[in-house]
Structure 1
Amino acid sequence: MIAEDFDTPVALVCTEKWHETPDTVSFVLACPENARRFQFKPGQFASLGFEINGKVEYRAYSISTLPDQTMMKFTVKRVEGGKVSNHVVDSLNSGDIVQLLKPQGAFNNVDCTHRGRVALISAGCGITPVMSMTADWLSRGDVDIVFIHIARDVLNTIYYEELLHLNAVHPSFHLKLLLKQAGDSSHTQGRLDQNYLLQLCPDILERTVYLCGPEGFMQDVTTYLEQIGFQMDDCYQEKFSAEAMGMETFSPVSDSSNSPVTVDVPGFGVSVEAQKGELLLDALESAGVPVIAACRSGICGSCKCRVEQGQIEFSSQETLSEEEIRSGYVLSCSSRIRSDLKVSL
């Protein structure tokens, strides 16, 4: 199975699972029938479907391993109230079936070119995509890497032992951990700011930056880079916010005006009453339409559908082509209902 060659879910088996930190687990997925290899670009994510209470729930998670292997590793951090993250941390077991959709994402080390020297800056679960990039670059030995990661303490540093190993065996890999509480470790203690950024990577102006972490963290780092005169064309960010970092995002609260509308989905024999301002995804799910919603933030494209009649207001067209947009396709997780609709999947 070549992962770039399918558009429908593929059933994989969880072959292994372990804790990275007290609230974060990693797990391995493989094809149950053979040892075919998966192709993707290092740094990309994939939408995974987990059966929870009789329903398959999809979320998108970054792939943290190399392409062209017979397995894929993912890392998920518990989110308070998160249906899928809590299921994965508490209940996913070896032997369980997980559905996989085609890997995607513009944040990768193939499309995001570098200048030979890079600075990877991550926080929390933002480490997962840059770890895949790192493994790829180190396998080829042609990139000098400064790896800056921000965490609470050693115990809560994802891939901690693996990072120490890479730092010990690869001369081109330079680990820079900044911990809120360094304890008795030799790592730097503090909160990232402009001065710490330059301390951890004095030649950052000469490097290409790959940035991934919580939205506020990325905004802060972007500000620091701009303040020191960094050429921002050489800074790539993971725009997929929480999901791509192994966390969950939730649909924004509807700004309903309490005016009822009707959403018709003839292909599934469904007609459901909704409210103006309600997310189209919420209306489709409430009607039992089997729409796949992985990221719920307008990035992955899995919830794409076509509005044949009616008006919507969208906040993202991230993965849609110009032809699809002209044909009426929208991302249901980022589209609010403004009138009666006729929709097809």
Structure 2
Amino acid sequence: MTYQNIPLVLILRKKETDDTESFYFQSKKPLLFNFKPGQFILLEANINGNSQVRAYSISSQPNSPTLKLTIKRVKDGLVSNWLIDNLALNNQITLRSIGGEFNIIDVKYKKKILFISAGCGITPVTSMAQYLLDQKIAVDIDFLHCAKDEFNIIYYLKLQQMAKQYRHFNYHLRLKNSSTEPVLMHSSVGRITDDFLIEHYSNLDEYTIFLCGSHRFMTDIANNLKSLNFDMDQFHYESFTLESCLDDKLSDKQGIKVTVADFNFEQTAAIDDNLLTILESGQLPIIGACRSGVCGACKCKIEHGEVISTSYATLSQQEIEQGFHLACSTIVKSDVDVSLS
């Protein structure tokens, strides 16, 4: 079934952390939502008379009348913050579509799976893990989640319950900081390093890995795996720079410039900043519809400079060779000249 422009009604809100809430929606008319665990929805909100569309990963299970979205408050997050501040029970919002290539159905995986997430990136991989458990699929699941501290662990109780209920599900929490001694059970403090992965997952080559987090987090993990000679064909990731789940702002501002000569636009940015966010700050005529690299609305051309993109969906090989990128799935690595014409 194709899900397009379906009115959703908010039936429940649940606080996850101080800045994160889960929203539970049902269709205005009775409907079961069928999707592939790990996928996202495009949600449309009317804010101050303007239609705003954002992508949010689904954390509930398929073939259910309820869609669960977990949304984090972020600085300057227009839609996410509006939802948290304004959407009340029985309010209505629009489901534009469901999609996404990052899911547990369309890939082959080994008998051991390692899910790695950071911050709100936990939402799609939790849906994947729960699906495997519900379907009684014969896999051993390890779940590694990173959070700022013990007060910012989304789904902490759920992880505990899953580990208690299923013997083949194990989790570990990697915290940036901790104010308690000793730290929480199944947790440690520090970054994910090569040594950490070797210590906790000694037979890493036996795993298929699914990753969801910020661009920086994703890049760091990918570099760890490459340095350990991991088979990258067994590495699947979702670049989670959506407004709904942005990690904390990067602290290493290094003053690079993004220029759009067509519109006399010049903006100072930081290495690894998202290109769409930069362009939107100047109110340039670029559309961020899906914000996840699948709709193609934010196509632009990089005339000069270094960028890294994680999605080229909708772009032809010729366009890629000509320097076209999807701004929502692109981070800047140097001074960049962009063309929107």
Q: Same fold (TM over 0.5)?
A: yes
Counterpart of 1:11, as a letter, is: P
SS at 1:126 equivalent: helix
Unaligned runs of 5+ in 1: 261-277, 286-290, 306-311, 340-345
The residue aligned with 1:288 is none
In structure 2, the residue matched to 1:197 is 197
1:171 pairs, out of 160, 167, 179, with: 167
2:34 alignment partner, one of 27, 39, 42: 39
Residues 77 and 243, structure 2, Cα contact 8 Å, conserved in 1: no
Q: CA deviation at 1:254?
A: 5.9
| 1:238 match: secondary structure | strand
Match of 1:318 in 2: 312
Residue from 6, 13, 18 that aligns with 2:9: 13
Q: C-alpha separation between the residues in 2 aligned to 1:62 and 1:26?
A: 11
Task: Please give the alpha-carbon distance, in whole angstroms, between the structure 2 residues aligned to 1:196 and 1:167.
Answer: 21
| 1:33 to 1:163, Cα distance in 2 relative to 1, 3 A | same
Aligned to 2:66: 71
Q: Which moved more, 1:197-206 or 1:138-147?
A: 197-206
Specify the SS of the correspondent of 1:69: coil
Is 1:154 matched with 2:150? yes
| d(CA) in 2 for partners of 1:117, 1:245 | 30
Cα RMSD for the two superposed structures: 3.3
In 2 relative to 1, CA 303–160 (structure 1 residues): closer, same or farther, beyond 3 Å? same
> What is the rounded CA distance, in whole Å, between the counterparts of 1:214 and 1:13 in structure 2?
30
Residues 1:301 and 1:136: Cα distance change in structure 2 (over 3 Å): same
String of CA shifts for 1:257-290, please: whole Å, max 9, x gaps.
2668xxxxxxxxxxxxxxxxx78x95557xxxxx
- Answering whether residue 85 of structure 2 is matched by residue 90 of structure 1, we say yes
For 1:232 and 1:108, locate their aligned partners in 2 and report how far apart those are by CA, in whole Å.
17
Any conservation in 2 of the 1:147–1:174 contact (CA below 8 Å)? yes
* Cα displacement string for residues 187-221 of structure 1 (whole angstroms, at most 9, x for unaligned residues): 33221211222223222221101111111111111
Runs of 4+ in 1 over 6 A off after TM superposition: 314-317
User: Does the CA contact (< 8 Å) of 2:294 and 2:314 recur in 1?
Assistant: no
1:50 CA displacement: 1.7
Query: Aligned residue for 1:144?
Result: 140
Tell me the distance in 2 between the aligned counterparts of 1:338 and 1:66: 39
Question: How far apart are residue 138 of structure 1 and its match?
Answer: 0.3
8 Å contact from structure 1 (residues 213, 245) kept in 2: no
What is the Cα deviation at residue 228 of structure 1? 1.8
Q: In the alignment, what sits opposite 2:102?
A: 107
Equivalent position of 1:343 in the other structure? none
The one-letter code of the counterpart of 1:303 is A
User: SS state of the match for residue 220, structure 1?
Assistant: helix
Q: How far has the Cα of 1:331 moved from its partner?
A: 8.4
Partner of 1:301: 295
- Trace 1:237-248 onto structure 2 (pairs within 5 A): 237-239=237-239, 241-243=240-242, 246-247=245-246
Shift of 1:168: 0.5
Amino acid of the structure 2 residue aligned with 1:128: T
**Please, which runs of 5 or more residues in structure 2 have no aligned partner?**
249-255, 265-278, 331-337
Specify whether residues 103 and 242 from structure 1 end up closer, same or farther in structure 2 by C-alpha distance, changes over 3 A only: same
TM-score scaled to structure 1, two decimals? 0.76
Offset of residue 69 of structure 1: 0.7
Secondary structure of 1:86's partner?
helix
Match of 1:209 in 2: 209
Distance 1:125 1:54, change over 3 A: same
Change over 3 Å in CA distance of 1:182–1:131 after alignment to 2: farther
CA distance in 2: counterparts of 1:68 and 1:161, whole angstroms: 24
Q: 1:148 to 1:333 in 2, by over 3 A?
A: closer
Give 1:257's match in structure 2, choosing from 257, 261, 282: 261
Q: Contact 2:36–2:62 at 8 Å: present in 1 too? A: yes
Rate the CA distance shift 1:222–1:304 in 2: closer, same or farther, 3 A. closer
Give the Cα–Cα distance (whole angstroms) in 2 for the partners of residues 42 and 116 of structure 1: 18
- The residue aligned with 1:22 is 18
- Following TM superposition, by how much is the alpha carbon of 1:162 offset from its aligned partner in structure 2, in angstroms? 0.7
Deviation at 1:57, TM superposition (A): 1.2
The amino acid that maps onto 2:141 is I
Q: Distance between the aligned counterparts of 2:246 and 2:90, measured in 1?
A: 23
Q: 1:47–1:302: structure 2 CA closer, same or farther, 3 Å change rule?
A: farther
Which letter does structure 2 place at the counterpart of 1:223?
Answer: N
How far apart, CA to CA, are the structure 2 residues paired with 1:146 and 1:108?
17
Q: Tell me how many residue pairs correspond in the alignment.
A: 299
1:212 partner amino acid: C
In the TM superposition, what is the alpha-carbon distance from 1:337 to its structure 2 partner?
4.5
Please give the TM-score of this superposition, normalised by the length of structure 2. Answer: 0.77
Work out which of the two has the higher radius of gyration on C-alpha atoms and give 1 or 2. Answer: 1
Whether contact under 8 Å (1:146, 1:175) holds in the other structure is yes
